[in-house]
Structure 1
Amino acid sequence: MPAEAFRDDNSDGYTVTFSDGTTCAAWIGNEGPLIDCPFKFPETTLVQAEIPPMATHPGNKAVANVIRYEAGEGFAPKALYTERPIEPGRKLIPGEKVTLAGFTFEQISGSSFSGSRDGYSFTVTDGKFTSNDSEPVPNSSTGPDSNRSAEEFLLPGTSVKTYSVIFDEDQNNCFINLSSSEVYFSCGVPLDPPVIIHNEAIGKDVPADIVVFDNESRKFRLSQDLSGGTHYQPKSVLNPGESVTIADFEIRRETGGALSVESGDSSFTYLNGKTTFSP
């Protein structure tokens, strides 16, 4: 379809509306191509708030309210402040597609639509958002939406406060030890395919099997568990949609099953044998 049919009279961009009422605005901004698609994500979809007053959860987090595109990263949930709602545009009918400001939008069926650009894509089907570089995010919570108490994960009989958080059905867990000098944090993460790292302590290349928090760099990184796993004692399970904050670590199990952990400006996610770090 011709792009001009979707021109927004109130801006230099375009708007398109899908069968479920979702409207996307697309335009070329000063920093490149952009889209905003206001979307009702579940209350458990927490992301960094655009501005501090929007934050409703620890770590400057807020519930995502829009689908946004960033070059090199693709489509993802964001929590953005908008001065005015996006006015509905011309509606696509099933089978139609249009390219606006370099973004291709398609109404796949009456209950499914998609957007794509530069090899990245997203799809919304029956109210569930999925991008090609993230796990599905349902439009309503499928698990308990709650912040658990750290005390539920406290291990008994230890000389210093020690916590164990199980985050999947295979009993993999995160371990936090609050010693008097520093905090020790690690999460067991079976990786597929294996990731080989150099262990300076033993001077060998070894397969990584844990994520640790480096207290000097203040960042998460891969490492190898040299303890033989004896300190990974089961305590309590973090269910999908739940989170817990222990010391400076916010540990969340997303509704799609992914583990996400944040401390300060550093974070990582783990799902299906793969880890992603930021920064």
Structure 2
Amino acid sequence: MGKGVVTVVAATVLVLLAVMALVIFLPPFLESQVKSREKDQMEEVRRTFSILQTSLYQMTQGDSLSFVLPMSPGSFFLYPTGEAACLSLGVKWRENDLGRLRYSMITRSYPSYTLGLEGGGVVLEQEGVSLMTFPPPLIRAVDLGENRVRVDVEWVYLVGENVRLSKRGPATLTLICLEEGYSVWAGENCNAENVVVDLKGRVEYEGAWQRYLKDLKDDLNSLGLNANLDNQNPLKLTILGRNASPGVKDLYYFEHMRKIAVWVA
């Protein structure tokens, strides 16, 4: 056998060994890349939603903010690491609907997930279960002494055109505060016998809000504020205050709202 033939055979063997090595080692390596990049993307989106939530409560009328969200984990060489995310703004266009912003991602290495911003709270929906991952300051109670309590209710409305966006490049959210101010002001005297917050028909992530209101009820009751949830409507929370006697106004009730326009591009 000539040297040329030996060289060709050796080269062929080396190529076959290289191909076998790629077949054995490349898929696990690529999958590890997918897992790492999907994790990084989830953490980045979660951080962005946390900052977005905090920023909402600092906006005054006329303020404008922009946020950039990653829509895919990227790629490794020519190998795509994950699907493109879907970003949508949903408003039911009915009275008192709070509106919601959703970021949905189909993943390979983790359960697919949706992050929703609704009513000022950030909800994580995964495998059919929704949890309030960043609770909103919907109701705040402050003890003023002498059985007097200040109760603040903070509403956040997201408005805009119903839109659904899916792409591999980054997406930009633009927020503009259209309205901001108090709709109820107590002044110097107690103005409420009780405070009622009813989210029925105003939110879509009802399971997450029910759990949130239950925890909130327990916190308010630990302050002696006689809070309860409606047996027929677990999305309705009533705060009676320290004096639950009918006709007694012992609450300073303040209601504040923000209406935020959202554009997705």
Q: Which has the higher contact order (CA 8 A, sep 6+)?
A: 2
Q: Name the larger-Rg structure.
A: 2
TM over 0.5: no
Q: TM-score normalized by structure 2?
A: 0.29
Q: Which is strand-richer, 1 or 2?
A: 1
Q: TM-score normalized by structure 1?
A: 0.28
